[in-house]
Amino acid sequence: MSGPAAGTAHAATTTDVVCLGESMVTFLPSQPGRLADVPSFGRGIGGAESNVACALAAAGHRAAWVGRVGADGFGDHLVETIAGYGVDTSAVRRDPDRPTGIYFRTATDRGTGAHEVAYYRAGSAASAMSPANVPYEELFAGRILHLSGITAALSADCLALLRELTAPRPGRPLVSFDVNHRPRLWRDGDAGVLLELARRCDLVFVGEDEAEEAWGIVGAEAIRAALPEPSVVVVKRGSAGATVFASGRRPGPRSSNAGGADNGPGPRSTEGVGGEGAPGSRSTEVAQAVGRDTVTVVPALRVDVVAAVGAGDAFAAGFLSATLRGLPVRDRVRHGHLMAAAVLTVPGDLTEPPARDHADRLVALDDGAWGRLRLGPGWTAADRAHEEVRTP
């Protein structure tokens, strides 16, 4: 099988988001410190794309994860755990000859020099994914196909697969791409290929820091200039928040008549959205037309961080969830920030997201109240949105 046939379409879409990529068993330290000094580890799961699928399923969407794992106990654990979040794992392939990848990490922030990660993924089952062995019918069955740059770094076959999946063709779903630049994975390769892949997608998530490190591009406007093709580019700016460039050339994900949590009207086009910022004489959020784009700037939340891992995946899940619901750009970013805050206030990569009505109330806050919001451990269990609003 060399690839999907041009014009492949699905009359009755039953999945909201399909995520493809490697998931691994992760070993989390029992205490802070160097890997050499940690006496024991707890077992969890980790993988950018499966994290997004789990978060979306926990938020009430129909999500599927497509990957490849070994025919081993770690593969069993991954599939069972991901399915336990409500994710459809029926298209996951088992490899009898290659192992499931695993990794160990320290408890420190990934962005610091003290952070250590020991990967055991070379020759993993996931690295054998290729255009010849993935289930295209399942991959193209959703309203959105979510991919990550991590997959492109795993092997030449994986890169060929991403090129195949991002190729323009009639009937493809909206393709979402998180750049997810990991320098360790590109030590022997050219991370510039991530720019090539991103330009072939409809929705792109990229951090300012990773764009500078991978491509030498500095600043949100320069990133957008380097990515003119996607209809939506979300530039993540750390504590400064996020800037979204939305051209509206392509409509939102195709609508589904199937049942499920997302039973409202189909998503609107991105054209003209982003001007939904709350009123106020000193707005902390900006939405303006710049050339062909509507540019929306939304500040980040103040969060009492427990562990700085998994936030990028959670942000993408929150943004995609709001996109599926047809919410305006400002609200998509705010939902992304809230999903990220939920993960940042727990030790692992995954957690239960806030209830939808709770998140919606927080998203609806005016600029002043949003700016005063501070979230700490346990905030997702709060019953009323105003309980989270604390002034400095």
Residues annotated catalytic, as ranges:
313
Question: Residue 225 is which amino acid?
Answer: A
Can you list the positions of beta strands (E) in 74-202? 93-95, 102-105, 117-120, 142-148, 174-178
What angle, 0 to 180 degrees and rounded to 10, lies between the N-to-C axes of helices 329-344 and 356-363? 120
Q: Give the C-alpha separation, 390 to 301, whole Å.
A: 12
Q: Give the C-alpha separation, 225 to 232, whole Å.
A: 12
- Residues near 314 by beta carbon (within 8 Å), at least 6 away in sequence: 51, 55, 336, 339, 340, 342, 343, 353
Of 182, 204, 56, the closest CA to residue 121 belongs to: 182
Kindly state the DSSP code that residue 99 receives in the 8-state scheme.
P
Cα 255 to the chain's mean position, in Å?
Answer: 20
Q: Write down how long the chain is.
A: 392
Are residues 303 and 336 in contact, defined by beta-carbon separation less than 8 angstroms? no
Count of CB atoms situated within 10 Å of the CB of 197: 22
Radius of gyration of the chain (CA): 20
